[in-house]
């Protein structure tokens, strides 16, 4: 494969683990036969972006351009592109390519492919350079990894669906959450608030667990039937053995065993947050009631499109706070303090 020609666009990057983000010029490939070129209108700010630019997962390549909740308009398509045309409203999430042939790819579960190419922090097969994310004016992605955004949704508020949305939608669907079930969502942040919305839309009885009593009213507005303050032992004990399913979105260290005790026999707790240190797991709460402890990672391309279509049908988007590109460093500091309701989204028109 010969290297395609490249063009330059403005972006925001970090030069090192300790540098603030600032303006830079980066290269994108000219669209090849199967590529879609997208002018980025909005990009959500995910906690992973911050982990990545600060090299907290030890694989960051600098300059680092994060951003994997991308929404924009198609500005050019390669000659072989069938699904998209210029002017379409599209999205790009955490993945921009995969091997296409392994059992995971064949099953539409590209997020588990050993050869998956992440939107940032992977090796770009075309330019033989690290992939660069959505804090930029445009991106070029092979059409199979481009998603359609339903026309009725607010584009800015749809951006976080590409990561926070699918991360919570996928486990709720995989474990068939629905009417008649009691479902817990732990944490009311970017992921948790989407978990509450989806679990409610799927017809479950939804209980939100939070450490902040002040979040109760908002949780109910977002769709929770009940709110439990997790530090209150009496409130926790009142729900013992009653949950079919618990979605744990917390990335900080927390007592997972307290939640196992809330599950019914055969109930399941799924982690989608990624605490830095291993969590101690007590065996008895699991073995005595045949409970399960699982994990889940974003979703594959078919399910991500299914999620977006579901959101279009049910008018579900993220609750967002719009920022300008040059406010990103302050936004990171606020995100670390959970001072956002519930996702920052960058208005990319502000990147000049």
Nearer to Zn ion, 226 or 319 (CB): 319
Is the link from the previous residue into 63 a cis peptide, with omega within 30 of 0? yes
Nearer to Zn ion, 239 or 343 (CB): 343
Burial of 112 (0-12, 13-18, 19+ CB in 10 A): middle
The maximal CA–CA distance of the chain, rounded, in angstroms, is 65
Distance CA 210, CA 75 (A): 43
Nearer to Zn ion, 190 or 285 (CB): 190
Residue 21 near residue 329, CB atoms below 8 Å: yes
Residue 186 sits at φ, ψ, to 5 deg, of: -100, 120
Nearer to Zn ion, 38 or 94 (CB): 94
3 state SS of 28:
strand
Q: Is 168 in the site for Zn ion (CB under 5 A)?
A: no
**Closest separation in Å from C-beta 20 to Zn ion:** 20
**Part of the chain binding Zn ion (CB under 5 A), chosen from 28-36, 77-85, 162-170, 206-214:** 162-170
**Closest separation in Å from C-beta 257 to Zn ion:** 27
**Closest separation in Å from C-beta 167 to Zn ion:** 7
User: CB-based contacts of 178: which residues, under 8 Å, 6+ apart?
Assistant: 202, 203, 204
Q: Is 113 in the site for Zn ion (CB under 5 A)?
A: yes
**Closest separation in Å from C-beta 321 to Zn ion:** 17
Query: Which pair of tokens denotes residue 158?
Result: 């749809």
Taking residues 36 to 55 in sequence order and writing x for each that binds Zn ion by CB under 5 A, - otherwise, the string is: ----------x-x-------
Taking residues 170 to 209 in sequence order and writing x for each that binds Zn ion by CB under 5 A, - otherwise, the string is: ----------------------------------------
Among 37, 60, 89, 98, binds Zn ion (CB under 5 A): 98
DSSP state of 33: T
Nearer to Zn ion, 57 or 284 (CB): 57
DSSP H stretches of helix in 59-182: 103-106, 155-158, 164-174
Residue 131 near residue 13, CB atoms below 8 Å: no
The sign of the torsion formed by the CA atoms of 70, 71, 74, 79 equals: positive
Among 21, 45, 50, 105, binds Zn ion (CB under 5 A): 105
Q: Is 107 in the site for Zn ion (CB under 5 A)?
A: no
- Contact residues for Zn ion, defined by CB under 5 A: 46, 48, 98-99, 102, 105, 113, 163
């Amino acid at each position: 494969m010969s290297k395609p020609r490249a063009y330059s666009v403005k972006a925001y990057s970090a030069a090192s683990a300790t540098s603030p983000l600032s303006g830079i010029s980066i290269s994108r490939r000219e669209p090849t036969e199967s590529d879609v070129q997208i002018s980025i209108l909005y990009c959500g700010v995910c906690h992973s972006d911050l982990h990545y630019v600060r090299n907290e997962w030890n694989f960051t390549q600098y300059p680092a351009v994060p951003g994997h909740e991308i929404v924009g308009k198609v500005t050019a398509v390669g000659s072989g592109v069938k699904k998209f045309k210029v002017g379409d409203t599209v999205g790009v999430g955490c993945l921009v390519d995969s091997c296409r042939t392994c059992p995971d790819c064949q099953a539409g579960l590209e997020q588990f492919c050993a050869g998956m190419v992440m939107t940032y922090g992977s090796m770009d097969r075309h330019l033989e350079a690290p992939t660069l994310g959505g804090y930029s004016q445009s991106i070029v992605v092979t059409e199979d990894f481009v998603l359609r955004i339903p026309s009725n949704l607010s584009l800015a508020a749809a951006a976080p669906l590409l990561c926070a949305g699918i991360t919570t939608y996928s486990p709720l669907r995989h474990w068939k959450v629905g009417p008649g079930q009691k479902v817990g969502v732990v944490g009311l942040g970017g992921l948790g608030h989407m978990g509450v919305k989806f679990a409610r839309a799927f017809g479950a009885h939804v209980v939100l667990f939070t450490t902040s009593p002040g979040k109760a009213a908002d949780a109910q507005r977002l769709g929770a039937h009940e709110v439990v303050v997790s530090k209150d032992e009496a409130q926790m004990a009142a729900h013992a053995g009653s949950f079919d399913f618990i979605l744990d979105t917390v990335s900080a260290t927390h007592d997972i065993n307290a939640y196992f005790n809330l599950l019914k026999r055969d109930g399941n707790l799924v982690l989608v947050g990624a605490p830095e240190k291993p969590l101690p797991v007590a065996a008895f709460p699991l073995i005595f009631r045949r409970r399960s402890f699982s994990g889940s990672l974003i979703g594959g391309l078919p399910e991500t499109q299914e999620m977006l279509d579901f959101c279009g049908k049910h008018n579900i988007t993220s609750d967002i706070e719009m920022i300008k590109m040059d406010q990103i460093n302050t936004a990171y500091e606020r995100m670390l303090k959970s001072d956002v309701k519930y996702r920052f989204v960058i208005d990319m028109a502000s990147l000049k």
